[in-house]
Structure 1
Amino acid sequence: MSTRRKPTSSSAANGQPTPLTSGMPSSTIRTSSNTRSPFFPTRLEALLLAIYPATLLLGSVFSTLSPATRSAPYSAASQSHPPEFAPSYFAHKKNVFNVYFVKLGWFWTTAAFATLLVVWPGFGAGLTVKRIRAGFRYAAITLWWMFVTQWFFGPPLIDRGFRFTGGQCELLRDPEARQGMSDTREYFTAATCKAVGGQWKGGHDISGHVFLLILGSALLWFEFLPAVTRMEGLRDGRRIMLEDGKVASVAVEKDPEHEKEEPTTRGVKFSLGVAALMWWMLLMTAAYFHTWFEKFTGLLVAFSGLWVVYFLPRGVPQVRAVLGMPGV
């Protein structure tokens, strides 16, 4: 069993005091004989993250086994079934959830996070260090979303990857338009290609929907997880690297004033609802849109950003001093 480490306690290994992270209450730090790397998730986090590849697998299996989906033509250019052959309402790109939720996914992510940030008592009253660091984590994730899907010193990373793998913009509207093919190839982003009547063809198109839905929902999960996990075995277990190189266990800081408060009543329900709807639309995306490899790369790109913001700080005290950790 782990024992609490006081700020003035000495390490059993060399008799030297172990420095704590600046701003982190000493009551949250515990020595541990567990040698698991601080960069690895806890069991609860691993189960949470496993939901995403499992969802993609489930959707792909469904699309393979469903007679309606198998018999419907699929367009590689649009990464979807043609509207007239769509096997489900959710297979239409213009379904209400896709148009007003997924297409505006980062707006809903921001609204849910802002609600949690403002009203959840776990951040304390006023402009606390916890609230500021949570804002930094959101800003870092948002920057990654922008680099991948919106802009990266020019075209976003998704478009750059498509061009790097041999893709180009091709005019498909009519034969006369094809005469301008050489000029069309110079259009470097999907948006400008579509604006002149062309389509992306020939390269690997990372699924932006998968990327967005995983990144946004996981951001919310990691932030409100401390609010909905009350059992000691669930909320403890994260490992961090201390400034002297030792590994310790960090627990969610308890707030006696709100210890008996129902954890999902203030700021969490809305965030939980947004995350749940994102999961459902991820399942629909897995079932009806994109190829398996396009969805898999969307997953990897989302996980890479989440690892930098939520796992890298555990092993690098300098990064942790800026981004902090949810719940402590």
Structure 2
Amino acid sequence: MTTRRSKPNTATQDGAPVPTASMKTTTTPSGAPQSPYLPTSLETALLAIYPGTLLLGSLFSVLNGATRNAPYSAVLQAHTPSHAPSYFARKSNIFNVYFVKIGWFWITGAFFLFLFSHSSLGPRFTPVLTPRRVKATLRYCAVTAVWCALTQWFFGPPIIDRGFRFTGGQCEIIYGDSAADNAKQADMSMGREVLTHAACKVAGGTWKGGHDISGHVFILILGSAMLWLEILPAVLRASGLREERRVQLADGKVASAAVETQERDGNMHVPVPEELGVGVKAALSVAGLSLWMLLMTAAYFHTWFEKFTGLIVAFAALWVVYFLPRGVPALRAVLGMPGV
């Protein structure tokens, strides 16, 4: 998706390029067709930002003296509030409370603003459900379903909480001085197997033991990368860059995704905006702030392994929604691809 488009040397139909033999099947320098399941060079560079950010933040937490010497609570998964080495090391910081904690609200807003404001998807600021808008919405629903299942609800407790309990975690309440506190502890002991992390916190307990996947890392990567992958084709097209994504066709051949773009658009001329537009700018803003908060999470919260598993789970979900359909025509017919 990063090659600069050369002077057109093929015929066009009302401004849309006609597929040529060079667009049908593409190969790597070794002669083998490029796998449709793998990201392009630009997508690889963008996705590499996430593990790089986690590594940078984790190294900072080790090398910075103030952070290294500040008391860390495994129960809080953060530095103790009274000894927090930075404003961003406090869970009460404004960006954590009003951005990360309700992150899917901002991600959803940026997504739908782009969806209904960018002319490559349909008439701007008009509630017309074009095929591209419908499939983009289905991709959003698929990613949202993953976010919901892991962090909110999955036929009961979310998957992250189930995994925490499966690895030996539980909700504990310290005995108090009063009979009411002791009764509360007894109730928690009987019901701890059905409590979520949120319910445990509300009940005054602590989530202890087990492996707790970093929900912050998961949502920050999943949401911002979804926005990146959705807006990237529009940005590249406005920049005059050639399509480099590959798809597997029904006959098993690997071809440029531009072939399916042409088949979808036919003789219709899809306008190329001269500027990115408010939707792309909003998505970039949310993605940029997400990267900053991911860096702060890496520096001040969770263990290395908790952050690593958050990254892996987010990447797995993104691959299923955005890369698997490129090699599976039946799935691509439902979810489509951004810009196609």
For the aligned pair, the TM-score class normalised by the smaller chain equals 0.7 to 0.9
**How well do the aligned residues superpose, as a CA RMSD in angstroms?**
2.6
2:26 maps to 32
Could you tell me how far 1:299 is from its partner in structure 2? 0.5
Q: Which moved more, 1:120-129 or 1:55-64?
A: 120-129
2:71 maps to 73
1:162 maps to 164
TM-score of the pair, normalised by structure 2? 0.84
Identify which of structures 1 and 2 has the higher relative contact order when contacts are C-alpha pairs closer than 8 Å and 6+ apart: 2
Report if the CA contact (8 A) 1:238-1:249 is conserved: yes
Letter in 2 for 1:121: S
1:57 maps to 55
> 1:176-255 to 2 correspondence within 5 Å?
177=181, 180=186, 182-230=189-237, 235-251=242-258
CA distance in 2, matches of 1:201, 1:222: 36
2:14 maps to none
Report if the CA contact (8 A) 1:226-1:235 is conserved: no
Could you tell me how far 1:159 is from its partner in structure 2? 0.3
Report if the CA contact (8 A) 1:209-1:285 is conserved: yes
Percent of matched pairs sharing the same residue: 62
TM-score of the pair, normalised by structure 1? 0.87
2:319 maps to 307
Secondary structure class of the residue paired with 2:144 = helix
Could you tell me how far 1:174 is from its partner in structure 2? 3.2
CA distance in 2, matches of 1:165, 1:103: 25
Q: 1:257 to 1:39 in 2, by over 3 A?
A: closer
Which digits, 9 at most, give the CA deviation of each residue in 1:216-264, with x for residues without a partner?
00010000011222488955221111001111121377996633611x2
Secondary structure class of the residue paired with 2:171 = strand
Report if the CA contact (8 A) 1:59-1:284 is conserved: yes
2:271 maps to 258
Q: Which moved more, 1:92-101 or 1:233-242?
A: 233-242
- How many residue pairs get aligned? The number is 308
Q: 1:327 to 1:257 in 2, by over 3 A?
A: closer
1:16 maps to none
Q: Which moved more, 1:264-273 or 1:53-62?
A: 264-273
Could you tell me how far 1:90 is from its partner in structure 2? 0.4
Secondary structure class of the residue paired with 1:206 = coil
Letter in 2 for 1:220: L
For structure 2, which runs of at least 5 residues remain unmatched after alignment? 12-16
For structure 1, which runs of at least 5 residues remain unmatched after alignment? 7-24
2:287 maps to 275
2:142 maps to 140
CA distance in 2, matches of 1:228, 1:139: 23
CA distance in 1, matches of 2:204, 2:18: 61
CA distance in 1, matches of 2:122, 2:175: 57
Letter in 1 for 2:154: F
Secondary structure class of the residue paired with 2:206 = strand
